[in-house]
């Protein structure tokens, strides 16, 4: 997979929020690639910076947040420093986005058809008639029954799950090569979640769309992602093939995270838990951000911040895998 | 649609009746109409005849029903102050007030809405800051002071525009209009600005804050994430959603213009209903006051109805499954 | 106490205050207005109501910097030879007294009824809110005018003149209570369903005490904002009523009365009799409004 030239490359990304009590670093030194057609899962606790990474990629960070350092490249071309109008042409066309809550993502005053049509006529060389025909096709494709009639319905006439299907159609209709899906199932009923994820996975595969799937649901990741990145306090703690990270996590944090998932194949008396809480961005400890909670902490962890290091099957930001540190 | 209108009219009825009750209570119990109408010298027989004529010997509810019936036919009795039928007095002065209010409302809307949209979109531009400062002064300036300042500058110092009255009017049936003469139009300028300025700033501030509110919503973020051009996001998605709450308040504000005309008409000696009303308050002329109150209530109820209909046109959530769709 | 003071200067409120030069400036202007009005009898250069000191020779003197002005009357004199500056200071006093009293009255009525509506719910709530709705559709100045007109008609003239000041305060207060009631009701509904209030109710704390000791403190912020913004409005309402000639009695002229009197001389060129009271009124209302705007934004960080 990694022998392909990456579609998206994020290099040393740092996002800052200036506040009255100094600058908060929301993302620090985040680097990863996504290959064409690949699904990268991004997991972590709330506030770890998952959604922030997605927002930075589509160029819609909430002010006063800003990219302070690093690069984002799409097809080898930088997109993090584009002007608004240039970036606008990429959004929707090259990079689609799916948001968390389908109840608030659709404009309540426009029919779903109109929203699909305007997206397509903006990015594709199609007229309104052709766009409408395709809009019906897309609604069928995402599983809206009686699409030809429902195209003129308003969002409030759909259920939550159906609305998220419409959102997926909207994100895909201009045929982008990358989708940033920010917790696409969190706001849905549990029974609907699996359907929507299956749909997303199927469509991504059929269309060859790469996806960055942000979620805190490890089940979704295990089922959908090719690789997974575990984020902690604004940094990537570990990144690697999904099977390896889930089964044999190398970073103590990802190991703890995975141990807290209930296994289906055997009974356990008690699920593991990680003591303590993720630090606030204003109070990130010196050294490794995870050191106060880490069961395997040692001297260097409290002094220096580790970068991603090869840890066998994955890459982990942990001094345990630095041969010199463990020896010394 | 039809049921919707009927429903709204039925809802407005109790309000009108409540206002009518207040008007009637004023009419019947405040001051002594008999004493006022008879003047100094009268016999007991004259007094009794008048009481019977006015129906004051009837029970309360009968009197109220008569009052409502008369009011519905535009019958409000005689003005204590001018001894002329109230309906006639009001009909004479209504065109002046309505023409003034119409111009002021047009001014407030045509300038206030675009200014609000601009300041909501470009919050940090220097022009926005200028508009905001201007609007704050507009909100803090009492209407009468705006009028006085305009008179001082444009009538007294520069001598460009008249400072009082309507100028020459043309009679179209019972309606007298100032729109058709040069002097009538010139006379309209200062009062219309005076009356419209406060509403203009209010509408601007309202549109601005609604616009900012809407721009923070997920669907606007999603529209941006879909790569729609700014023009479509701002003037399609955002503006249309801003309109929903703005329509309500703007509607009420337009009603308020007619009431605020009282002040403007006093400053410019504009021969409208407001001037009539304020003279009646000073003279405790209850029939005119209660008629004016009812008329204003009618205007507000009508505007409310129009606002509801506009709402219905803009927001699809109201059309189907009324009251349960949406948020 | 010292700790409370320190906490205040440490707070976000104080921080955002010092960060906004406009707010600081308007606080200073408001303070100058209030102090000038409060101490008018001691610091005003003349006593405009002391008929013995008035001299018609001094009438219509323009401001000191104009050609015919005299240093004694910095802002000129009116038709009676009254010092305009002193009249403004005394007038501001009346305006402020009426504005503040009316706002306090409206606050008291609005907060009480709002608490009642929010806490009692049911019919009490719907009746009170219906009244609010209806009244809010009418501009407050119209309500104040009506209340004033009715009292004028209901009371004999002598009685009315004696209590005119209270009538104005009452009229303006009545015209503004619904905004407070709405705000308080909204916050009360939110608080009422919180667990600590439910808990207090379960252990049998009387309703009245729950409202006063638990719910009330939580609505102080919004009420303060509404009150500040309404103070400006109340001062304007008073000025408007007085300008229309139905406000405070002529024996206690407010800024609005001064403007009305001066208005008659506008055409003969004596602009200062109107314009200076007008500027004083604008300065007062503008500074109060700016403070209110700032307070609203500072207590509502989400709007930033």
The residue of chain B nearest to residue A118, with distances taken between CA atoms, is: B228
Structure-block tokens of residue C107? 């606050």
Q: How far apart are CA A254 and CA A252, in angstroms?
A: 6
CB B274 within 8 A of CB B264: yes
Q: Report CB contact under 8 Å: B219, A105.
A: yes
CA A249 to chain centre: 19
Classify residue B279: in a domain, yes or no: yes
Which other chains touch chain B, taking contact as 3+ CB pairs less than 8 Å apart? A, C
B90 shares a domain with B44: no
Model confidence at B324: pLDDT above 70: no
Kindly state the helix (H) or strand (E) to which residue A180 belongs, with its residue range.
Answer: strand A178-182
ipTM of the complex: 0.88
Mean pLDDT, rounded, for A13-37: 89
The residue of chain C nearest to residue B285, with distances taken between CA atoms, is: C153
Strand A235-241 relative to strand A66-74: parallel, antiparallel, unpaired? unpaired
Residue A286: phi, psi to the nearest 5? -65, 155
User: DSSP of B241-277, one letter per residue?
Assistant: HHHHHHHHHHHHHHHHHHHHHHHHHHHHT--SHHHHH
List Cα–Cα distances, A186 to A192, A195, A210, B284, in angstroms: 10, 13, 20, 66
Q: Nearest CA of chain C to the CA of B110: how many Å? A: 22
A69 phi-psi bin (left φ>0, alpha ψ -120 to 50, beta other): beta
Q: How far apart are CA C174 and CA B95, in angstroms?
A: 31
Amino acid A41: pLDDT: 93
Q: Report CB contact under 8 Å: B140, C148.
A: no
Classify residue C11: in a domain, yes or no: no
Residues A206-235 have pLDDT tens digits of 888 999 999 888 888 888 899 999 999 999
Choose among C243, C266, C286: nearest Cβ to B144: C243
Residue A325 pLDDT level (bands cut at 50, 70, 90): low
Structure-block tokens of residue B47? 């007094």
Residues B105-153 have pLDDT tens digits of 889 889 999 999 999 888 888 998 888 888 877 777 888 888 888 888 8
Model confidence at B321: pLDDT above 50: no
Kindly state the helix (H) or strand (E) to which residue B235 belongs, with its residue range.
Answer: none
Mean pLDDT, rounded, for C74-91: 79
Residues from chain B contacting residue A174 (CB–CB below 8 Å): 226-227
Model confidence at C67: pLDDT above 80: no
% of chain C surpassing 90 pLDDT: 4
Chain B residues within 8 A (CB-CB) of chain C?
15, 18, 26, 30-31, 136-137, 139-145, 148-149, 151-152, 156, 163, 212, 252, 255-256, 259-260, 262-263, 266-267, 277-278, 280-282, 284, 286, 289, 293, 296-297, 300, 304
Residues from chain A contacting residue B316 (CB–CB below 8 Å): 108-109, 154, 156
State the alpha helices, DSSP H only, in C193-271. Answer: 195-202, 207-210, 216-243, 255-263
A200 shares a domain with A327: no
Task: Identify the three-state secondary structure at position A271.
Answer: coil
Classify residue B81: in a domain, yes or no: no
A190 shares a domain with A245: no
Model confidence at B52: pLDDT above 80: no
Amino acid A78: pLDDT: 92
CB-count burial class (<10 Å; 0-12, 13-18, 19+) for A5? exposed
Choose among A91, A99, A104: nearest Cβ to B227: A91
Which other chains touch chain C, taking contact as 3+ CB pairs less than 8 Å apart? B
CA angle, residues A218, A220, A226, in degrees to nearest 5: 95
CA C301 to chain centre: 26
A287 shares a domain with A220: no
% of chain A surpassing 90 pLDDT: 44
Structure-block tokens of residue C113? 């009824």
Mean pLDDT, rounded, for B303-320: 78
Q: Nearest CA of chain B to the CA of C26: how many Å? A: 13
Q: Each residue of C237-258: b (16+ CB within 10 Å) or e?
A: bbbbbbbbebbbbeebbbbbbb
Classify residue C277: in a domain, yes or no: yes
Residue A7: phi, psi to the nearest 5? -75, -50
Residue A98 pLDDT level (bands cut at 50, 70, 90): very high
Residues from chain C contacting residue B286 (CB–CB below 8 Å): 153
Residues from chain B contacting residue C234 (CB–CB below 8 Å): none
Model confidence at B29: pLDDT above 80: no
Reduced 3-state DSSP string for B185-212: HHHHHHHHHHHHHHHHHHHHHHHHHHHH
Q: Which residue has the higher pLDDT, A168 or B63?
A: A168
Choose among C232, C266, C293: nearest Cβ to B156: C266
Residue A327 pLDDT level (bands cut at 50, 70, 90): low
Structure-block tokens of residue C23? 């707010």
Residue C69 pLDDT level (bands cut at 50, 70, 90): low
The residue of chain A nearest to residue B312, with distances taken between CA atoms, is: A109
CB-count burial class (<10 Å; 0-12, 13-18, 19+) for B249? middle
Q: How far apart are CA C242 and CA A259, in angstroms?
A: 76
Q: Report CB contact under 8 Å: B315, A108.
A: yes
CB A73 within 8 A of CB A8: yes
State the alpha helices, DSSP H only, in C63-156. Answer: 84-120, 122-137, 140-154
A281 shares a domain with A133: no
Structure-block tokens of residue A259? 């141990």
Structure-block tokens of residue A38? 């690949």
Amino acid B327: pLDDT: 37
The residue of chain B nearest to residue A106, with distances taken between CA atoms, is: B219
Model confidence at B26: pLDDT above 80: no
Model confidence at B63: pLDDT above 50: yes
The sheet carrying A309-311 orders its strands as A95-98, A178-182, A210-214, A39-43, A227-232, A235-241, A314-316, A309-311
B149 shares a domain with B26: no
Model confidence at B20: pLDDT above 50: yes
Kindly state the helix (H) or strand (E) to which residue A33 belongs, with its residue range.
Answer: strand A22-34
Helix axes C255-263, C272-299, angle to 10 degrees: 140
List Cα–Cα distances, B206 to B215, B233, B258, C68, C228, in angstroms: 14, 20, 20, 47, 19
Residues comprising chain A, all counted: 328
A179 shares a domain with A255: no
A248 shares a domain with A222: no
**Among candidate residues A11, A41, A52, the one with its CA nearest the CA of residue A240:** A41
A214 shares a domain with A98: yes
Structure-block tokens of residue C78? 């009116």
B189 shares a domain with B116: yes
Q: Nearest CA of chain B to the CA of A96: how many Å? A: 7
Structure-block tokens of residue C275? 């314009």
What's the structural domain count of chain B? 2
Classify residue C24: in a domain, yes or no: yes
Residues 6+ apart with CB under 8 A from C39: none
Q: How far apart are CA A46 and CA B236, in angstroms?
A: 34
B92 shares a domain with B50: no
Model confidence at A2: pLDDT above 80: no
Mean pLDDT, rounded, for A73-93: 91
Strand B175-177 relative to strand A22-34: parallel, antiparallel, unpaired? unpaired
Most confident of C54-68, C110-124, C132-146: C110-124
Q: Note if the bond before A64 is cis, omega within 30 degrees.
A: yes
Mean pLDDT, rounded, for C111-130: 84
State the alpha helices, DSSP H only, in chain B. Answer: 2-29, 33-38, 44-54, 60-72, 86-121, 126-140, 143-150, 182-215, 218-225, 230-231, 239-268, 273-282, 286-314, 316-319
Residue-range definition of the domain harbouring residue A326: 236-264+272-328
CB C238 within 8 A of CB C256: yes
**Among candidate residues A132, A122, A63, A113, the one with its CA nearest the CA of residue A93:** A122
List Cα–Cα distances, B143 to B257, B262, C254, C277, in angstroms: 11, 10, 17, 15
% of chain B surpassing 90 pLDDT: 8
CATH number of the domain at A134, please: 3.40.50.300
Q: Which residue has the higher pLDDT, C145 or B264?
A: B264
Average confidence score pLDDT of chain C = 80
Mean pLDDT, rounded, for A199-204: 89
Amino acid C304: pLDDT: 37
What's the structural domain count of chain A? 2
Mean pLDDT, rounded, for B48-55: 74
Residue-range definition of the domain harbouring residue C232: 19-47+59-303
Write out residues 59-78 of A within 8 Å (CB-CB) of B.
60
Residue A31 pLDDT level (bands cut at 50, 70, 90): very high
Residue A87 pLDDT level (bands cut at 50, 70, 90): very high
Average confidence score pLDDT of chain A = 88
CATH number of the domain at C76, please: 1.10.3720.10
Q: Report CB contact under 8 Å: A154, B317.
A: yes
Looking at residue A284, what DSSP letter applies? P
Neighbours of A320 (CB within 10 A): 19
Model confidence at C120: pLDDT above 60: yes
Classify residue C199: in a domain, yes or no: yes
Residues C215-260 have pLDDT tens digits of 777 778 888 888 888 898 899 888 888 888 877 777 788 888 888 8
% of chain B surpassing 70 pLDDT: 91
B107 shares a domain with B43: no
Residue-range definition of the domain harbouring residue B24: 12-58
Residues C148-159 have pLDDT tens digits of 777 777 777 777
Q: Report CB contact under 8 Å: C271, B304.
A: no
A179 shares a domain with A31: yes
Amino acid A124: pLDDT: 92
**Among candidate residues A8, A10, A2, the one with its CA nearest the CA of residue A49:** A10
Task: Identify the three-state secondary structure at position B128.
Answer: helix
Residue A244: phi, psi to the nearest 5? -65, -45
CA angle, residues A271, A273, A278, in degrees to nearest 5: 155
What's the structural domain count of chain C? 1
């Amino acid at each position: 997979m990694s022998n392909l030239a990456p579609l998206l490359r994020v290099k040393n990304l740092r996002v800052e929020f200036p506040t009255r009590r100094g600058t908060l670093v929301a993302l620090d030194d985040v680097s990863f690639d996504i290959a064409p057609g690949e699904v990268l899962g991004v997991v972590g606790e709330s506030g770890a910076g998952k959604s922030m990474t997605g927002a930075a990629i589509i160029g819609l960070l909430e002010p006063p947040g800003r990219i302070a350092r690093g690069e984002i490249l799409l097809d080898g071309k930088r997109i993090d420093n584009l002007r608004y109008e240039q970036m606008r042409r990429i959004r929707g066309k090259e990079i689609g986005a799916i948001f968390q809550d389908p109840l608030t993502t659709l404009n309540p005053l426009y029919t779903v058809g109109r929203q699909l049509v305007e997206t397509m006529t903006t990015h594709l060389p199609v007229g309104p008639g052709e766009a409408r025909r395709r809009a019906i096709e897309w609604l069928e494709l995402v599983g809206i029954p009686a699409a030809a009639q429902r195209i003129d319905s308003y969002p409030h006439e759909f259920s939550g799950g159906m609305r998220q299907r419409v959102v997926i159609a909207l994100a895909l209709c201009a045929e982008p090569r990358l989708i940033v899906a920010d917790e696409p199932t969190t706001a849905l009923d549990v029974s609907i979640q699996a359907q929507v994820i299956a749909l997303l996975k199927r469509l991504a595969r059929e269309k060859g769309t790469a996806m960055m799937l942000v979620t805190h649901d490890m089940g979704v990741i295990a089922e959908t992602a090719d690789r997974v990145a575990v984020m902690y306090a604004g940094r990537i703690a570990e990144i690697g093939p999904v099977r390896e990270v889930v089964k044999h996590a190398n970073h103590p944090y990802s190991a703890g995270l995975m141990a807290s998932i209930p296994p289906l194949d055997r009974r356990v008396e008690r699920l593991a838990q990680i003591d303590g809480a993720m630090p606030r961005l204003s109070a990130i400890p010196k050294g490794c951000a995870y050191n106060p909670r880490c069961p395997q902490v040692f001297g260097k962890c409290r002094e220096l911040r580790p970068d991603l290091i090869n840890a066998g099957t994955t890459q982990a930001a942990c001094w345990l895998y630095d041969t010199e540190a463990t020896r010394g | 649609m039809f049921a919707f209108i009927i429903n709204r009219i039925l809802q407005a009825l109790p309000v009108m009746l409540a206002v009518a009750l207040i008007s009637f209570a004023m009419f019947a119990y405040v001051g002594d109409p008999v004493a006022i109408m008879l003047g100094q010298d009268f016999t007991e027989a004259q007094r009794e005849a008048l009481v019977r004529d006015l129906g004051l010997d009837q029970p309360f509810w009968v009197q109220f029903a008569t009052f409502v019936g008369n009011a519905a036919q535009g019958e409000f009795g005689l003005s204590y102050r001018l001894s002329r039928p109230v309906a006639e007095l009001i009909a004479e002065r209504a065109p002046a007030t309505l023409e003034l209010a119409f111009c002021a409302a047009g001014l407030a809307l045509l300038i206030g809405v675009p200014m609000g949209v601009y300041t909501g979109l470009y919050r940090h531009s220097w022009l926005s800051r200028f508009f905001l400062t201007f609007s704050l002064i507009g909100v803090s300036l009492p209407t009468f002071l705006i009028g006085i300042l305009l008179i001082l500058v444009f009538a007294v110092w520069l001598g460009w525009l008249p400072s009082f009255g309507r100028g020459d009017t043309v009679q179209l049936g019972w309606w007298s209009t100032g729109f058709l003469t040069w002097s009538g139009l010139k006379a309209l300028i200062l009062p219309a600005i005076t009356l419209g300025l406060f509403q203009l700033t209010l509408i601007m501030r309202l549109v601005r804050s609604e616009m900012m509110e809407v721009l923070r919503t997920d669907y606007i973020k999603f529209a941006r994430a879909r790569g729609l051009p700014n023009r479509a996001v701002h003037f399609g998605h955002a503006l249309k959603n801003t309109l929903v709450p703005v329509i309500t308040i703007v509607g009420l504000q337009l009603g308020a213009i007619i009431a605020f005309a009282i002040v403007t008409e006093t400053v410019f000696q504009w021969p409208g209903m407001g001037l009539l009303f304020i003279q009646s308050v000073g003279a405790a002329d209850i029939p005119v006051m209660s008629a004016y109150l009812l008329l204003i209530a009618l205007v507000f109820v009508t505007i409310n109805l129009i606002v509801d209909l506009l709402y219905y046109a803009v927001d699809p959530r109201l059309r189907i499954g009324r009251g349960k769709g949406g948020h | 106490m010292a700790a409370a003071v320190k906490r205040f200067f440490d707070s976000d409120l104080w921080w955002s205050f010092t960060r906004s030069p406009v707010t600081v400036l308007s606080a200073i202007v408001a303070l100058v207005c209030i102090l000038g009005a409060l101490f008018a009898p001691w610091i005003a250069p003349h006593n405009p109501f002391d008929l013995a000191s008035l001299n018609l020779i001094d009438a219509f003197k323009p401001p000191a910097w104009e050609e015919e002005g005299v240093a004694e009357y910095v802002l000129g004199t009116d038709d009676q030879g009254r010092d305009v500056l002193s009249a403004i200071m005394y007038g501001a006093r009346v305006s402020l007294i009426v504005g503040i009293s009316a706002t306090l009255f409206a606050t008291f009525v609005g907060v009480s009824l709002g608490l009642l509506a929010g806490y009692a719910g049911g019919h009490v709530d719907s009746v009170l809110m219906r009244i609010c709705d209806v009244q809010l559709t009418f501009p407050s100045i119209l309500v104040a005018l009506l209340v004033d007109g009715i009292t004028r008609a209901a009371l004999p003239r002598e009685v009315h003149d004696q209590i005119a000041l209270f009538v104005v305060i009452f009229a303006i207060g009545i015209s503004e209570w619904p905004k407070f009631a709405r705000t308080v009701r909204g916050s009360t509904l939110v608080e009422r369903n919180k667990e600590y209030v439910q808990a207090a109710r379960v252990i049998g704390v009387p309703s009245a005490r729950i409202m006063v000791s638990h719910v009330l403190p939580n609505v102080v912020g919004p009420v303060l904002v509404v009150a500040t913004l309404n103070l400006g409005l109340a001062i304007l309402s008073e000025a408007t009523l007085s300008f229309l000639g139905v406000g405070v009695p002529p024996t206690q002229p407010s800024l609005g009365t001064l403007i009305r009197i001066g208005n008659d001389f506008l055409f003969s060129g004596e602009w200062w009799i109107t314009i200076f009271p007008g500027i004083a009124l604008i300065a007062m209302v503008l500074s109060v409004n700016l403070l209110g705007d700032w307070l609203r934004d500072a207590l509502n960080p989400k709007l930033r």
